[in-house]
């Protein structure tokens, strides 16, 4: 496989030099195709370490969005988090970390969490 120094694909600009690579872009905001995602950035090394983060959303009747981030030191060690939802149905939060054959994960329905917090503030 031939690597290019500079790339532009699916609304993202990328750089690859000696296996070290980075990518950032507007995704579907630039191309008009929601399948290309939203704002994002990622980077990696030829040794397997990598990280990425991004956000996306829409306002077609309901406001909806998604935030995510993840990192991996190697295929056996990493972590990630996601937060998403819309104004009509509530939301979701999840996280996961893995290392040494063990995985720890957590999920939450953010609508019930937000409503509980609002009740406590009042």
**CA dihedral sign, ordered 98, 20, 36, 25:** positive
Instruction: Give residue-wise pLDDT tens across range 8-63.
Output: 887 789 999 988 999 998 877 777 776 667 888 999 999 999 999 998 877 666 66
In this predicted structure, what is the pLDDT of residue 122? 42
Instruction: Give residue-wise pLDDT tens across range 61-87.
Output: 666 788 899 999 998 999 999 888 876
Query: Do 37 and 56 meet the contact criterion of CB atoms below 8 Å apart?
Result: yes
The Cα–Cα gap between 40 and 53 comes to 6
Query: Do 82 and 66 meet the contact criterion of CB atoms below 8 Å apart?
Result: yes
């Amino acid at each position: 496989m031939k690597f290019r120094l500079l790339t532009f694909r699916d609304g993202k600009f990328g750089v690859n030099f000696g296996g070290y690579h980075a990518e950032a872009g507007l995704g579907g905001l630039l191309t008009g195709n929601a399948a290309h995602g939203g704002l994002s950035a990622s980077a990696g090394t030829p040794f397997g370490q990598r990280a990425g983060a991004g956000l996306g959303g829409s306002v077609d009747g309901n406001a909806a969005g998604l935030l995510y981030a993840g990192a991996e030191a190697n295929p056996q060690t990493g972590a990630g988090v996601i937060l998403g939802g819309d104004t009509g149905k509530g939301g979701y939060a999840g996280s996961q970390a893995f290392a040494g054959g063990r995985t720890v994960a957590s999920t939450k329905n953010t609508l019930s969490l937000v409503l509980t917090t609002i009740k406590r503030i009042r």
